[in-house]
Amino acid sequence: MKTVAGIDLGTQSMKVVLYDYEAKKTVESSSFPLELISGADGSREQKAEWYRAALESCFLKLSAEGKSSIQSIGVSGQQHGFVPLDSQGNPLYNIKLWNDTSTAEECRLIADSVGGQEAAAAEVQNFILPGFTAPKILWLKRHQPQLFEKLRYIMLPHDYLNFLLTGNYVMEQGDSSGTALFSSKEKKWSEKLCAAVDPELIKKLPPVIAPDEPAGFVSREAAGWLGIPEGAVVSSGGGDNMMSAIGTGTVKNGVLAMSMGTSGTLYGFSSTSISDPAAGISGFCASSGGYLPLLCTMNCTVASEEIRGLLNLGVKEFDAEAEKADPCAGGVFVLPFFNGERTPNLPHGKASITGLTAQNCSRSNIARAALESAVYAMKTGLDSFRKHGFTPSELRLTGGGAKSALWRQITADIMNLPVRIPVLQEAAAFGAALQALWCLSKLQKNPVSMESLAEIHVEMDSSKTARPDEKRVQEYNRAFSEYQSLVEHLAPLYR
């Protein structure tokens, strides 16, 4: 048996899958939960030590036979997190995550120093937003100057795992383009944006490798404490959205995918650079070559989980309760800004339930509204994608929300597209494994395209396809207009 390992470092857990690429099946998997440090100021943080412990635990749960079969490893990681290390590779501070909104002031300072948000977008194809890495680095400089003086290594979460596995300090183009320091068009660090954070910053950033290049090879030390083969190839890896794109087969022009995890993302592959920050579309590189324009909201399953906890319901009970309500939830809306929001840019946003009357105030309407709210933001993104020439015939859905039959149908009706689900649900981990296979094939002098690999290995589950209902589509179009109006009127309160 020969396998490739895919590691997915998410916000809530780490997962590892072993994929037998000759038999085309997952043979083993493991996971480990991660905690979250939340602050009233919008901070969301984790510790680097937790990542090392999770990595060790995940591999300990795999069989010796499975681990010995590993030929190559790929790492997927939550995007934008800032892992600051000293010259010895020791963590200097907590990891500020993608959903940390405590850096709004740093965003303003960076944008002002380069001539405004439009000028920043011209440099790095993105506005300077709290989700990105650049303001997190400036936050450390402003709030922990003594630690900043010791800063030597600047990593993203997936880079840190690559560092633990190989000892090498590199980044790849996809995750780098989510730092707001890297030009996805020119595929290099922006001297102007780096200098806006610190004059010496660009000297501390790592070299950026192409997505089909190896980040390195499993070191003797990593092989010893993880029980995996020394010298196994470690591919470049990438951000979780980039890896999910591979895992869903979103590796050719015009294919759109949507991830319903803690955050919600809508993304599509493009052979040319596409960026529209004013419409919420980030101009990222793909980790399969090409580009991955992406819209991200910071509150997807967060909304359903918070409302589910409020109603004291289990996951299946929550779906059953929501299913009792009619489409559009009787006019009830949830504005799901529990973590602030990135699209629209409302770092100080607050969640609310609105539209309640004596007639529609029910658990079922509130539950359904929570599910619908996460998809409304995605619909805004879909309209923007179409303006840039995307004409999708289907939407490939992944993430925890994709497991809900009701949520899949709501998505199909609101987006007015058939929704298809990959057979292998852990899209980020599976995508990382496929990227590892892509890299391995190239090193073995048998190069293949990522598109051909996806055609061979990415299978859709036809039994879970959801198709839009014309009557519900029209109802949701009207409700969506009302949702947009609510956001427009409330947004000034949160800017």
Q: 492: cis peptide before it, omega within 30°?
A: no
DSSP readout, 31-75? EEE---EE-TTS-EEE-HHHHHHHHHHHHHTS-HHHHHTEEEEEE
Indicate the SS3 state at residue 152.
coil
Token pair listed for 130: 């709290």
Cβ neighbours of residue 240 under 8 Å, at least 6 residues apart?
8, 9, 10, 76, 77, 78, 79, 259, 261, 428
Residue in the block written with tokens 């989700």: 131
Token pair listed for 424: 């292998």
Q: How many CB atoms lie within 10 A of CB 444?
A: 11
DSSP readout, 375-427? HHHHHHHHHHHHHTT---S-EEEESGGGG-HHHHHHHHHHHTS-EE-BSS--H
Beta-bridge partner residues of 291: 270, 285
Residue-wise over 197-235: b if at least 16 C-beta within 10 A, else e? Answer: bbeebbeebbebbebbbbbbbbbeebbeebbbbeebbbb
Q: With 0-12 CB in 10 A as exposed, 13-18 as middle and 19+ as buried, what is 22?
A: exposed
**Catalytic residue positions, numbered:** 240
Q: State the pairing for strand pair 3-9/214-217.
A: unpaired
Rounded-to-integer distance, Cα 146 and Cα 208, Å = 28
